[in-house]
Structure 1
Amino acid sequence: MKMPPGYSIPNKEKVCKLKKSLYGLKQASRQWYAKFSSSLLQYGFNQSRADYTLFTKGSGPSFIALLVYVDDIIVATNDLKAVSDLKEFLATKFKIKDLGCLKYFLGLEIARNPTGIQICQRKYTLDILNDVGLLGCKPSLIPMDPNIKLCKDEGQLLDDPSEYRRMVGRLLYLTITRPDLSYSINILSQYMSSPRVPHLHAAYKVLRYLKKSPGQGLFFPSSSSYHLTVYCDSDWASCPDTRHSTTGYCVFLGHSLVSWKCKKQTTISRSSTEAEYRSMASASCEIIWIKYLLADLQVPHSQPATLYCDSKSALHIASNPVFHERTKHIELDCHLIRDKIQEGVLTTAYTPSQSQLADLLTKALHSPMFYSLLLKMRVTDLHSPSCGGILNQAKAMKSSQQHIMQATSSQQTVTSHQNQQIM
């Protein structure tokens, strides 16, 4: 604490009475992060440029990574002594509490064993169902009906829109472990300003889907390669209000789903090819960012990432740097993918529509295709009786992995045949 200018009295002792906690001030989080980050940098950590909340330190075979969210910290390392030294250093600077092995963090439930790691948000999901009063509702097989198209002007306005906004806001946090909710929550969040009765009913259907499998989450196998594989897709002019297309992509590190996105495009595409090309550009930006992140984590990835798309015309535009009359209206930033192909950062490949995993992120699907794509994404329910726990789940994952490998090999065959046609 420093005295304000003009208040200091020479040779006089002063006592200040604190009337408000520093924790509640607007600048408290900024000052805390500045103090914490400077302490870590002083200790020898390097701050990631891809994610400023990630700090890494490596010396020889020892490596330690630290991820901070306000005053909650996760530490991962291959050297237990490095963690002990880090805790001793932080104890000299701050008042800390060691919570032990990671099991629960900001609503995330983590289960580990030699086969891999399972992450879900079961408690958070059950809390939402309990607060809304749908804990005993009839479950739904899918989160959104494929035959229903929501509009901003159809239906009666809600008398109290705060209930809808609070519900969708809480559901947004579930998408960090559940890619199966990305498309439906993306649609519902577009009507936050003036929600109507059909929008509320669609949100209730999402909650009834959560009732079916509240513990559903992602499984990350311990034995996996470091090759980046990306699936991108788009749904042309899918928005009935603006006629904007929807972009969706999912990124796999080996067989682990590490990133995904569903977002409405900012401009109107004149053709489905243009919409697919824009989705490829968005996926390319994600590949570049993940490669920066892998470099900070000291994970080598020299081989080019593979970008799968189910539009042959979009693949031709991406591979051919010659100016086309039909693509001159597309922004220059979308042609980033051409430069990255020439630099060897990524390679493009064709995949059939039935093997397009990103299809789950661009449209509402019927239950057979919906659950087929979920299995390939390794989205499973650890608490399901049919799962039998994470040990028995590994057997199902192994069969799913073999299915994905077969699909990938068939895709590569189609790609080589396509390249021969291009040449």
Structure 2
Amino acid sequence: MKTYAIVGAGSRCTSMFALPISKSFADVASIVSVYDPNHKRAQLLQQKCGGGFPVYDSFEQMVKEARPDVVIVTTIDRYHHEYIIKAMEMGCDVITEKPMTIDEDKCNAILEAEQRTGRNVTVTFNMRFRPFAARIKEIVQQKTIGQILSVHFEWFLDTNHGADYFRRWHRKKENSGGLLIHKSTHHFDFINWLLEEEPVEVSAFGTLRFYGQTREQRGVRCLTCSYQNSCEFYFDIAKDDATRELYLECESVDGYYRDQCVFSEDIDIEDSVSLNVRFSGGALMSYSLTAHSPFEGFKLAVNGSQGRIEAETFHGAVGPFAGEEINRLRIYNRNQEEITVKVPVVGGPHGGGDERLLKMLFRGHMSDPLHQQADSWDGAMSNAIGFAANKSMKEGKSILIKDLVKRPFQREI
């Protein structure tokens, strides 16, 4: 039985870790404590999990007294490095939500601390565990299309999911590093994992033209906004029990508004990005993210020496995929054949990825042939593309990864 302490008691922590540990994995895992700077939120998590563990008002005191085997970090991204490093220095392994951190200095500090303390950091990339993504990995691993030469990857966030990043703490780069760090780190890790190569150089462009200061009719937050009845982005924080309890009823502690205006002048992250990446084995990637699409999903093309893979996943309320969940996977080879690979749609959060990731984390497996469980270096290399992209957009030039992230140990590529 492993023991776990949690730092950061928001919605992701509750649904992804706390409730599953308390219910589905109670025979192999136990929560021994929780800490969040907002004590009301921590107490709510404690109640939802049936009690049985204390709430602390100090992280250091929690680790010292509860003595967990593992600390789970699910705080605002900007604080990940603090808790990851402190936990390792106090003798704990760490499971951290993606992204591992938000800039290269914090990333290097985590890698150094892991090497120095001998503890381990696991980064939760649920896309690796999504059955659709795993099937693509198997096809690549089997050399069905030969050596990978290039990748074209387009990701769409609809105006339900996408807009939410612009009303929450993610809207400030100082908190999240922008969508290229907070969101795209999943996508970059997926490509690193497919290629089994490391990123070398990045060039990027980004804009903020849909959200932010594009509308004069705006307020501070939806709850008190004068345009509630006319704004298509109105978010009723009191309507859903989870957001009401976790955020509206906890505002008195920290003053955090979960329903900030998506057209605020405070927003400084991009809503459209485009970048190019050169990898260590010679492969190239073009990538784009749109945070204001009518539908949600991605398009992926993988070009190899012996053919091409095309993969698509879509769902949404409008457009050609209205009300549907679409997985399409096709292989084109040099014999002019088109091969359709049927991959069933799997239910559950993130296309079934969360459930499978949790089983790996808490129950383990005898083997991991697809290398789905990610470590700190995987986290660093996915982060690094985002770090370099942010720097490229700021400085107007391509950026070398080796100038940002320092390898503290020798690792086979």
The two structures share one fold, judged by TM-score above 0.5: no
Q: Which has the higher strand share?
A: 2
Structure-1-length-normalised TM-score: 0.28
Structure ID, larger Rg: 1
Q: Which has the higher helix share?
A: 1
